[in-house]
Structure 1
Amino acid sequence: MRYLLGLTACLMLAGCTTVSVHHYASERPTLDLVAFFSKPVQAWGMFQKRSGEVTKRFHVDIQSHREGDRLILDERFLYSDGTRQRRLWTLEPDGPGRWRGRAGDVVGEARGEVAGNALQWRYRLDLPVDGKHWVMDMDDWMYQMDDDTLINRTRMSKLGVEVGQVTLFFRRQP
């Protein structure tokens, strides 16, 4: 019996592990945020509940510029219900392969790490839902597919329970 309990505990812990961004270190093309966002970018995305139901679709127009070492991303969202939102990111290098970022609806600071074609962000987002504000934990992964395409998948959780996922496709414009 003790053996079964130990085995069950190990399996549960193994199910909680996540892949490290360093797993992608040899993947190409190498993700360079500054280079990727050196041109205007369009993105298309959706939010899905943990059941898989799509509850929101959106388009994002992203313009960027540099201020010294900082990369400023001006994101303008248009949702399928006609609502609009703007998020202004200020991203700064924080050592080799590391970034930190701030935005108006990010609680504290976002921390990111790049390896190969992947970037993992972790941050807390103040999200308005039905007239209330919920602070969500964001586990945000970006993967560069080619020179002009990024795929982004974010797991949103509250108190350790996944509430949904956001999927985005980014495309650099000529």
Structure 2
Amino acid sequence: MVLALLGLTGCAGPKVQDYASETPTLDLRTYFNGPVRAQGIFTDRQGKVVKRFVVDIQCQWSGTQGTLDERFTYSDGSTQRRIWRLTDLGGGRYEGRADDVVGTAQGHSAGNALQWSYTLALPVDGRVWHVNFEDWMYLIDERTMLNKAVMSKFGIQLGEVTLSFTKL
């Protein structure tokens, strides 16, 4: 019984409301408006860096609709493009869609933080895996945001993505 209780407690994580009083306040419509550059790494379950990458993002909003045009360049020379179509639902809630996102991404923000959940159709060795992402973004100052994402499948952690965004 004690082990089961500890297991359930271990699953409890932070809630976006835990950051409601943190500043500066993250407003996606302000931060992701204009050019942004991100640099990141993907680490496997053991913490080994598997890939490094740079992302150049062109961002714009029209009312409650935003577009993030992401262009990835990986350390192995490969490239990728993802276009996010975001909707500000109000009250710190966001939805997002992209061609390789299964269904709709859901986001919630409070204070300096954004929690973002989605399933990505990820090509691996000629197959496509539906992988769950749990992103946490933290605004450090008006130009800098950090992002840590945990990638999992069937509840098993596959790796992590760590990004540093800089608003240009």
Deviation at 1:68, TM superposition (A): 3.3
* Equivalent in the alignment of 1:89: 84
Residues of 2 paired with 1:67 and 1:128: CA distance?
32
Q: Please tell me the residue identity of whatever aligns with 2:69.
A: D
What does the per-residue CA deviation read over 1:62-110, in whole Å, with 9 as the maximum and x for residues that have no partner? 0012233201000000000000000000000123110000001000000
Q: Please tell me the residue identity of whatever aligns with 2:43.
A: Q
* Equivalent in the alignment of 1:100: 95
**Structure 1 vs Structure 2 CA RMSD:** 0.8
* Equivalent in the alignment of 1:122: 117
Residues 127-146 of structure 1 mapped to structure 2, 5 A cutoff: 127-146=122-141
Residues 20-169 of structure 1 mapped to structure 2, 5 A cutoff: 20-169=15-164
TM-score, normalization by structure 2: 0.98
Residues of 1 paired with 2:158 and 2:104: CA distance?
21
Residues of 1 paired with 2:66 and 2:77: CA distance?
29
What does the per-residue CA deviation read over 1:25-56, in whole Å, with 9 as the maximum and x for residues that have no partner? 00000001111122311100010001001101
Q: Please tell me the residue identity of whatever aligns with 1:88.
A: I
Q: Which runs of 5+ in 1 are unaligned?
A: 1-5
TM-score, normalization by structure 1: 0.94
Following TM superposition, where does structure 1 have runs of at least 4 consecutive aligned residues deviating by more than 3 angstroms?
none
Residues of 2 paired with 1:103 and 1:119: CA distance?
18
Calculate percent identity across the aligned residue pairs.
Answer: 53
Higher Cα Rg: structure 1 or 2? 1
* 1:17 matches 2:23: no
* Equivalent in the alignment of 1:3: none
